[in-house]
């Protein structure tokens, strides 16, 4: 099994910024982009900004998805662009993905792409179709603030300075996520809540919440992203999961799942959909992020936990929930497509990438 690991970047390299989903056309995203540009230039990098970044004439997307797809392809094929960071997440990048020539991407020299949320529409097929690793991490606006450990980790991976990350001790509740109106270089997350992992281990054909702080270990290829996107891709021409599993042979997959818009009922339907499509059949385990909309919500007895565990209970693999992944900051950057070793005990989690 060979997943292509792109070359790491270094000072004076050019980083492409393109908007296959939303651009940076409103505040605070304009200011965040400008701040990120300044901070990255201070590190010696230059930013090549695509035209889509400043466009907003599309429907739920920066501009015409054909134009978005073409710009992303051109950036990926351009040897002077050493890595690409998405301008932002959004809603309708699936339309962009439908026009991307993944055969062309596959034949190009591999380079790092970084983004999250709606960018699952590119990262997931980049791994499953092009067999190329990518970073599920901050979009460019995420670097437009005072860098905390999550931003430092993301850039250290991009520069090849670390293969090891750990979870963070505190997190920012969704209601505490307030847009900054002051100096962005001083803006930090409102970290008021202690991170508590919710780990479930298989026993007797079912999953049980682990309160003993038993050490959990798993190894496999990291794959996944935003559930809203994954459930939408499933069954389309971009669904090559079966072919990918044939390609990796005996290797197993550690599924990375996080949710943005779904309420608990929809979250459960999404997990059910992917489970019954056969995506999870050869899994080594699951890392599940704190959901944004479903966070601490319950609908007719369905909550963010049983929406997942009830559907996965008979797979016989561990499920670690409330991980620092996705839309509830801070989020660990993850190298999708990389083989990884996961170690978790209590509220601590360590991830080692094979890159």
Per-residue pLDDT reduced to its tens digit, 222-243: 999 999 999 999 999 999 999 9
Whether residues 101 and 36 share a domain: the answer is yes
Q: How many CA atoms lie less than 13 Å away from 130 in the CB half-sphere?
A: 27
Confidence label for 1 from pLDDT (cuts 50, 70 and 90): low
Could you list the residue range(s) of the whole structural domain that residue 348 is in?
170-353
Given 163, 190, 217, the domain boundary residue is: 163
Contacts of 199 (CB under 8 A, 6+ apart): 209, 210, 216, 318, 319, 320, 321, 344
Q: Where are the alpha helices (DSSP H) in 53-172?
A: 65-77, 93-99, 102-107, 120-128, 149-158
Per-residue pLDDT reduced to its tens digit, 301-319: 999 999 999 999 999 999 9
Contacts of 127 (CB under 8 A, 6+ apart): 3, 133, 134, 223, 244, 336, 337
The whole-chain average pLDDT of the chain stands at 96
Question: What CATH number does the domain containing 63 carry?
Answer: 3.40.50.10740
pLDDT of residue 11: 87
* Mean predicted confidence (pLDDT) in 102-109: 97
Q: What share of the chain is helix, strand, coil (3-state, %, to 5)?
A: 30, 25, 45
Per-residue pLDDT reduced to its tens digit, 28-40: 999 999 999 999 9
Given 116, 139, 163, the domain boundary residue is: 163
Whether residues 101 and 176 share a domain: the answer is no
Evaluate whether residue 5 is within a structural domain: no
Whether residues 254 and 317 share a domain: the answer is yes
End-to-end CA distance of the chain: 14
Q: How far is CA 279 from the centre of its chain?
A: 18
Evaluate whether residue 6 is within a structural domain: no
Of the candidates 119, 70, 127, which has an alpha carbon nearest to the alpha carbon of residue 253?
Answer: 127
* Mean predicted confidence (pLDDT) in 171-175: 94
Residue whose entry in the numeric block shows the structure tokens 């409103």 = 26
Confidence label for 179 from pLDDT (cuts 50, 70 and 90): confident
Alpha-carbon dihedral angle through residues 261, 314, 221, 252, given to the nearest 10 degrees: -150
Whether residues 335 and 213 share a domain: the answer is yes
- As a whole number of angstroms, the distance between CA 50 and CA 73 comes to 12
Three-state secondary structure call for residue 205:
coil
> How big is the CA angle at 41 (ends 114 and 336), to the nearest 5 degrees?
15
| Count of domains forming the chain | 2
* Mean predicted confidence (pLDDT) in 327-333: 98
pLDDT of residue 132: 98
pLDDT of residue 177: 86
């Amino acid at each position: 099994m060979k997943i292509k690991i792109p070359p790491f970047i270094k000072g004076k390299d050019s980083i492409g910024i393109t908007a296959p989903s939303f651009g940076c056309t409103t505040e605070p995203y304009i200011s965040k982009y400008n701040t990120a540009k300044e901070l990255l230039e201070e590190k010696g990098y230059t930013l090549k900004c695509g035209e889509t970044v400043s466009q907003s004439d599309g429907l739920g997307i920066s501009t015409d998805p054909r134009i978005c797809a073409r710009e992303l392809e051109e950036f990926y094929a351009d040897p002077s662009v050493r890595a690409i960071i998405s301008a932002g997440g959004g809603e309708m990048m699936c339309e962009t993905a439908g026009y991307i020539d993944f055969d062309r991407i596959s034949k190009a020299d591999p380079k790092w792409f970084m983004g999250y949320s709606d960018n699952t529409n590119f990262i997931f097929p980049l791994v499953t179709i092009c067999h190329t690793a990518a970073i599920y991490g901050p979009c460019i606006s995420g670097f437009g603030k005072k860098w905390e450990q999550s931003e430092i980790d993301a850039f250290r991976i991009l520069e090849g300075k670390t293969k090891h990350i750990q979870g963070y001790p505190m997190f920012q509740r969704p209601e505490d996520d307030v847009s900054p109106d002051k100096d962005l270089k001083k803006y930090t997350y409102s970290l008021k809540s202690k991170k508590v992992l919710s780990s479930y281990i298989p026993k007797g054909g079912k999953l049980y919440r682990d309160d003993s702080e038993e050490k959990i270990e798993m190894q496999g290829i990291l794959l996944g992203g935003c559930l809203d996107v994954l459930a939408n891709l499933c069954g389309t021409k971009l669904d090559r999961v079966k072919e990918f599993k044939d390609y990796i042979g005996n290797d197993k997959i550690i599924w990375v799942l996080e949710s943005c818009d779904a309420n608990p009922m929809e979250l459960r339907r999404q997990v059910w959909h992917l489970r019954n499509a056969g995506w999870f059949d050869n899994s080594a385990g699951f890392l599940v992020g704190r959901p944004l909309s479903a966070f601490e919500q319950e609908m007719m007895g369905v909550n963010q936990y049983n929406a997942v565990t009830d559907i996965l209970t008979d797979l016989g693999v561990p499920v670690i929930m409330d991980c620092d992944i996705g839309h509830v900051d801070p989020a660990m950057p993850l190298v999708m497509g990389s083989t990884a070793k996961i170690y978790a005990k209590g509220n601590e989690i360590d991830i080692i990438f094979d890159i």
